[in-house]
């Protein structure tokens, strides 16, 4: 049975985002510190689960999982839970293909430019407020 890929990602993404919210709230109640530990735990756990999922789909699942089911889990649920998992997978795939410098550029560039982009957005809003 064919399902629209956008609908699949939409449904999985909603579940993942709700899970991210719940985990972040739970971490905030468990550990009362001024550090984004919840988001850090989400990024790490999402990357670990993405590693399990990607490895399973590539080496173990065979035809047991449809492309729609794989899309639902990876891009949908895990993408909604944390895009850091997709980022980590992309970086690792570049590294495993032997593109070490490209992987390094991707990691450093993504992190630094994302932070600078956020800073620029804040600056624009502050400047015109």
Domain residue spans in the chain?
Answer: 5-82
pLDDT in tens, 56-85: 998 888 778 888 999 999 999 999 999 888
* pTM of the shown model: 0.80
CB burial of residue 73 (10 Å; 0-12, 13-18, 19+): buried
10 Å Cβ neighbour count for 13?
18
111: tokens are: 């992190």
């Amino acid at each position: 049975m064919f399902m629209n890929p956008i609908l699949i990602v939409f449904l999985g993404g909603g579940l993942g985002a709700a899970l991210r919210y719940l985990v972040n709230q739970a971490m905030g109640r468990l550990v009362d510190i001024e550090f984004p530990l919840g988001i850090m735990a989400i990024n790490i756990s999402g990357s670990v689960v993405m590693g399990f999922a990607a490895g399973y789909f590539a080496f173990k699942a065979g035809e047991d999982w449809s492309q729609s089911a794989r899309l639902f889990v990876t891009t949908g649920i895990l993408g909604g839970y944390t895009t850091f998992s997709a980022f980590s997978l992309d970086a690792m795939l570049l590294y495993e293909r032997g593109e070490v410098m490209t992987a390094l550029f991707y990691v450093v560039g993504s992190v630094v430019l994302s932070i600078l982009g956020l800073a620029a957005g804040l600056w624009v809003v502050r400047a015109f407020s």
